[in-house]
């Protein structure tokens, strides 16, 4: 029987045949795909013809098409719907795929062909995009150690393989800890909880095969519990489990893995001639240097900390008014902040959530994309990898643009967080256009119906902004398509798209009560938008603390004990007592599940400087859907991928680079900065 992963996909839009694929198909498919890729690369390296852009770079783009196809399906499923078989295969694949990448970049004949092209680039009559791709390939080879010799070359290959294994193990450990913990609630424990939270806790129990109600480590469940439960003892217990993920002295403890990862990254940088890993990692980012990152973060840290400390004093007085002596603790902050928000803004999340159903917020995101970019979304009835997943065809003026898959609900088989990925990326090599399959994955609490918090709705818009970056991509080479851009630029489209959730007319149209279909009352909408910067001291401090720890970990010698180093860094910063890092080291998946955000967690804030300024371009027209501005945004950012340097792309859109003031204004921190 033909392996469905290796056969031609002839279904609608060449979607993977999910209803035919089994876990047993993946290993042989990877074997075949790796063998095909190895043979293709060997053929390119050994080609007796003089190097040309077509027989070297274009050929490399096409060499691993089957591998990309198989991996695109597997890694999406491994993250969103893991099984023991998929987790075991992930562990097996980590060193194999690392070795495959090293075999390519260590191929001297292949690198020699790239160098020949680079040295004769002025005579090759390349398009700007082709020249950019050639430069990026050469840079990738050099940064992977192609110019190293002897023992250093072999050691770098070994280091990269070990890092791949450690990253996979870190992710699986974190998922195992999140699966393992739940806190049953007795009837008395439900007192004071809003109806939606009680229903969600009941659904969570049913999903685990339990009766009654449970709190789990899903953010969309534990955060509202910390906001609404008047039981301080239960809040403390839940919070302790939340922050202890990956640090429970069990088989899934990530602390040693973090230390090993930092040591290997430092060695990797040294082998390549860099003083520290942060220097290596940031060389190709917009920030350029660790000092530039540190300077930005500290410009935000000081006003955010001042605001958080002022807020802490207010919340502690509320704690004492409840007859509780002592300091405000981290498990108290969200509870008293929610009470304060209700008092100061007359804003109750239990009243707000019925207006923010999942279906309504999906419709809102789609509507904004149609008004801005002319996209239309048509529901598809096709087999998908999980019953919770949904699919839409995306078109523009009758032309197929993409398939969009939304997978929104938390489950024990899904890793935590929210992300966007592509099962297939856009490209147009040799006149063969390939349109993407884009996936948004979130971890919202499943309900009947599913209701979102305002933060959940913001997450939905954020991930859909990434999806637009993929769907609107219009370049030739998959190597630079969609989100294949600098890490501190990739969050610009996603964070920018969040702004449309704040446009009053969007909420007026889509925020309708789940039972009555009535629009959100004008006074509630006004209070919601007025509270947009509420608690930004807390939110900014917990984020910037994480970013500064990440940066410090990768500067200088690697810490032998990352937990002790984390404590020292936070003490030196003066982190307020009642606030913790958003992601402590043992569950800092952004940084330790792979190299993506290592030395790069700051990138959300670097991009926020741009997104605040970019939305200002629409505000200056007095029309959040101004067609001219939207066309510029698409042309220079959303469709451009990595076809030019980020600074050039942003400047082409906005005419200049922004300063930090727009960010501080957007977070309501300007007064604290002065």
**Bridge partner list, 404:** 392, 438
Contacts of 55 (CB under 8 A, 6+ apart): 44, 47, 49
Report whether pLDDT(674) > 70: no
Supply φ then ψ for residue 402, to 5 degrees: -175, 165
Domain boundary among 243, 263, 284: 243
- Strands 376-380 and 213-216, by their bridges, are unpaired
- Per-residue pLDDT, 668: 86
In DSSP terms, which residues pair with 390 in a beta bridge?
A: 406
CA separation, residue 240 to residues 219, 244, 334, 384, 549 (Å): 14, 6, 14, 37, 21
Q: What is the pLDDT of residue 300?
A: 95
Provide the 8-state DSSP code for 602: T
303 and 449 co-located in one domain: no
Q: Which residues of 581-604 are buried (b: 16+ CB within 10 A; e: fewer)?
A: bbbbbbbbbbbbbbbebbbbbbbb
270 is a domain residue: no
Burial (CB < 10 A; 0-12, 13-18, 19+), residue 120, is exposed
> How sure is the predictor about 617, in pLDDT bands with cuts at 50, 70 and 90?
very high
- Residue 188 burial (CB < 10 Å; 0-12/13-18/19+)? exposed
Report DSSP letters for 251-293, one per residue. TT--HHHHHHHHHHHHHHHHHTT-SSHHHHHHTTSSS-SHHHH
What are the tens digits of pLDDT across the range 100-125?
999 999 999 999 999 999 999 999 99
Q: Which structure tokens are listed for 402?
A: 């993409």
Once rounded to an integer, what is the mean pLDDT over residues 370-391?
97
Are 592 and 626 contained in the same domain?
A: no
Nearest to residue 527, comparing CAs of 349, 323, 394, 283? Answer: 349
Q: Which residue, of 143, 161, 192, is where some domain finishes?
A: 143
What average pLDDT score do residues 605-624 get?
95
Q: Which residue has the higher pLDDT, 11 or 438?
A: 438
- Candidates 550, 489, 14; CA nearest to 297 is 550
541 and 510 in a common domain: no
Please work out, in degrees rounded to the nearest 5, the angle formed at the alpha carbon of residue 368 by the alpha carbons of 365 and 371. 150
Q: What is the mean pLDDT of residues 89-95?
A: 95
Q: Are 57 and 117 in contact (CB under 8 A)?
A: yes
Is the CB of residue 507 less than 8 Å from the CB of residue 527?
A: no
**pLDDT band at residue 220 under the 50/70/90 scheme:** confident
Residue 198 CA to chain centroid, in angstroms?
A: 29
Q: Is 152 helix (H, G, I), strand (E, B) or coil?
A: helix
Whether the Cβ atoms of residue 288 and residue 549 lie closer than 8 Å to each other: no
Cα separation, 379 vs 374, in Å, equals 17
Q: Which of 184-193, 322-331, 372-381, 410-419 is the least confident region? A: 410-419
Task: Indicate the angle between helix axes 603-619 and 487-498, nearest 10 degrees.
Answer: 40
Q: Say if residue 498 is in the same domain as residue 364.
A: yes
Mean local confidence (pLDDT), 151-176: 96
The domain containing residue 202 runs over which residues?
181-243
In this predicted structure, which of 37-46, 255-264, 349-358 has the lowest mean pLDDT?
Answer: 349-358
Q: Looking at the structure, do residues 522 and 554 belong to the same domain, yes or no?
A: no
The answer, yes or no, to whether the previous bond of 247 is cis (omega within 30 of 0) is no
For residues 41 and 92, membership in a common domain is answered with yes
Q: Please report whether residue 161 resides in a domain.
A: no
- DSSP H helix total and E strand total for the chain: 28, 7
Cα of 587 vs its chain's centroid, Å: 15
**Tokens found for residue 478:** 């998959």
Token pair of 13, please? 């839009």
For residues 621 and 477, state if they share a domain: yes
Section 33-48 average pLDDT: 97
Distance between first and last Cα of the chain: 70
Same domain for 558 and 442, yes or no, is: no
* Domain membership flag for residue 158: no
Q: Going by DSSP bridges, is the β-strand pair 399-409/437-444 parallel, antiparallel, or unpaired?
A: parallel
Both tokens assigned to 299: 């410009």
Instruction: Let me know if residue 488 belongs to a domain.
Output: yes
H or E segment to which residue 424 belongs = strand 419-424
Domain CATH code at residue 98: 1.20.1050.40
Q: Return mean pLDDT, the chain.
A: 95
Number of domains in the chain: 4
| pLDDT per position as a tens digit, 248-296 | 999 999 999 999 999 999 999 999 999 999 999 999 999 999 999 999 9
Residue 1 lies in a domain: no
Among candidate residues 77, 94, 112, the one with its CA nearest the CA of residue 163: 94
Q: What angle, 0 to 180 degrees and rounded to 10, lies between the N-to-C axes of helices 646-654 and 603-619?
A: 20
Q: Is 406 exposed, middle or buried (0-12, 13-18, 19+ CB in 10 A)?
A: buried
**Which pTM value belongs to this model?**
0.94
Element (H, E) at 443: strand 437-444
* From 130, 393, 463, 634, active-site residue: 463
Give the pLDDT of residue 349.
84
Please give the Cα distance from 507 to 520 (Å, whole number). 8
Active-site residue flag, 283: no
Using one digit for the tens of pLDDT, what is the confidence trace for 221-244?
Answer: 999 999 999 999 999 999 999 999
Residues 191, 132, single domain; the answer is no
Element (H, E) at 402: strand 399-409
The SS3 call for residue 512 is strand
Residues 455-466, mean pLDDT to the nearest whole number = 97
Asked if residue 215 and residue 101 are part of one domain, the reply reads no
Percent above pLDDT 90 for the chain: 92
Question: Does 621 fall in a domain?
Answer: yes
Same domain for 569 and 432, yes or no, is: no
- Which of 550, 573, 597 finishes a domain? 597
Average pLDDT over residues 616-621: 96
Q: Are residues 590 and 612 in the same domain?
A: no
Residues 299 and 667: their CA atoms lie apart, in Å, by 13
Average pLDDT, integer, range 136-149: 96
Tell me whether residue 584 is in a domain.
Answer: yes
Residue 672: which pLDDT band, with cuts at 50, 70 and 90? low
Inside any domain, residue 126: yes
Distance in angstroms (rounded) separating the CA atoms of residues 228 and 484:
40
CATH number at residue 613: 1.10.1370.40
CA dihedral 94, 100, 101, 104 (to 10 degrees): 170
Residues above pLDDT 70, as percent of the chain: 99
pLDDT at residue 416, rounded to an integer: 86
User: pLDDT class for 673, splitting at 50, 70, 90?
Assistant: low
Q: What is the pLDDT of residue 444?
A: 94
> In the predicted model, is pLDDT for residue 246 greater than 90?
yes
């Amino acid at each position: 029987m033909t392996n469905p992963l290796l056969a031609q996909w002839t279904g609608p839009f060449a979607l993977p045949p999910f209803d035919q694929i089994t876990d047993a198909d993946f290993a042989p498919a990877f074997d075949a795909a790796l063998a095909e890729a190895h043979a293709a690369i060997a053929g390119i390296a050994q080609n007796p013809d003089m190097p040309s852009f077509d027989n070297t770079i274009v050929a490399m783009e096409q060499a691993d098409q089957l591998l990309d196809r198989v991996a695109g399906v597997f890694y999406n499923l491994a993250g969103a719907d893991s099984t023991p078989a998929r987790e075991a295969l992930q562990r097996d694949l980590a060193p194999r795929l690392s070795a495959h990448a090293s075999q390519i970049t260590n191929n001297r004949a292949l690198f020699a062909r790239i160098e020949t092209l680079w040295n004769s680039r002025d005579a090759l009559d390349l398009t700007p995009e082709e020249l950019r791709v050639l430069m990026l390939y050469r840079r990738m080879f050099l940064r992977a150690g192609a110019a190293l010799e002897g023992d250093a070359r072999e050691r770098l290959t070994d280091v990269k393989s070990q890092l791949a294994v450690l990253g996979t193990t870190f992710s699986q450990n974190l998922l195992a800890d999140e699966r393992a913990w739940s806190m049953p609630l007795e009837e008395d424990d439900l007192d004071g909880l809003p109806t939606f939270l009680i229903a969600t806790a009941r659904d969570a129990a049913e999903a685990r095969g339990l009766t009654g109600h449970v709190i789990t480590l899903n953010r969309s469940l534990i955060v509202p519990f910390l906001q609404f439960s008047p039981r301080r003892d239960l809040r403390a217990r839940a919070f302790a489990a939340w922050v202890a993920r990956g640090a429970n002295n069990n088989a899934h403890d990530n602390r040693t893995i973090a230390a090993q990862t930092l040591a290997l990254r430092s060695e990797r940088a040294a082998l390549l001639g860099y003083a520290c890993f942060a220097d290596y990692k940031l060389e190709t980012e917009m920030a350029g240097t660790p000092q530039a990152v540190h300077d930005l973060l500290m410009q935000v840290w000081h006003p955010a900390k001042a605001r958080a400390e002022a807020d802490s004093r207010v919340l502690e007085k509320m704690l004492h008014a409840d007859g509780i002596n002592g300091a405000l603790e981290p498990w108290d902050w969200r509870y008293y902040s929610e009470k304060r928000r209700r008092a100061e803004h007359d804003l109750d999340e239990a009243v707000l959530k019925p207006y923010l159903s999942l279906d309504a917020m999906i419709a809102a995101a789609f509507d904004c994309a149609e008004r801005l970019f002319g996209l239309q979304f048509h529901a598809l009835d096709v087999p998908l990898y999980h019953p919770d997943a949904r699919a839409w065809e995306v078109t523009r003026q009758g032309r197929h643009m993409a398939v969009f898959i939304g997978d929104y609900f938390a489950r024990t088989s899904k890793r935590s967080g929210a992300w966007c990925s592509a099962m297939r990326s856009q490209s147009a090599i040799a006149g063969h256009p390939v349109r993407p399959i884009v996936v948004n994955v979130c971890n919202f609490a499943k309900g009947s119906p599913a209701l979102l918090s305002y933060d959940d709705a913001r997450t939905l818009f954020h991930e859909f902004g990434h999806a637009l970056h993929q769907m609107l991509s219009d370049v030739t080479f998959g190597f630079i398509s969609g989100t294949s851009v600098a890490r501190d630029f990739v969050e610009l489209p996603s964070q920018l798209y969040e702004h449309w959730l704040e446009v009053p007319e969007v909420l007026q149209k889509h925020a309708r009560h789940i039972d009555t279909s009535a629009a959100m009352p004008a006074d509630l909408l006004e209070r919601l938008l007025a509270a947009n910067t509420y608690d930004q001291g807390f939110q900014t401090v917990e984020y910037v603390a994480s970013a500064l720890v990440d940066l410090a970990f990768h500067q200088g010698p690697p810490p032998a004990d990352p937990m002790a180093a984390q404590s020292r860094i936070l003490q030196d910063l003066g982190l307020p007592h009642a606030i913790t890092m958003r992601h402590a080291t043992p569950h800092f998946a952004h940084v330790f599940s792979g190299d993506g955000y290592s030395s790069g967690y700051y990138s959300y804030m670097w991009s926020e400087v741009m997104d605040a300024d970019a939305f200002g371009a629409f505000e200056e027209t007095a029309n959040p859907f101004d067609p001219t501005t939207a066309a510029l945004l698409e042309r220079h950012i959303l469709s451009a991928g990595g076809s030019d340097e980020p600074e050039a792309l942003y400047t082409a859109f906005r005419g200049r680079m922004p300063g930090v003031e727009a960010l501080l204004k957007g977070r309501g921190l300007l007064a604290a900065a002065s």
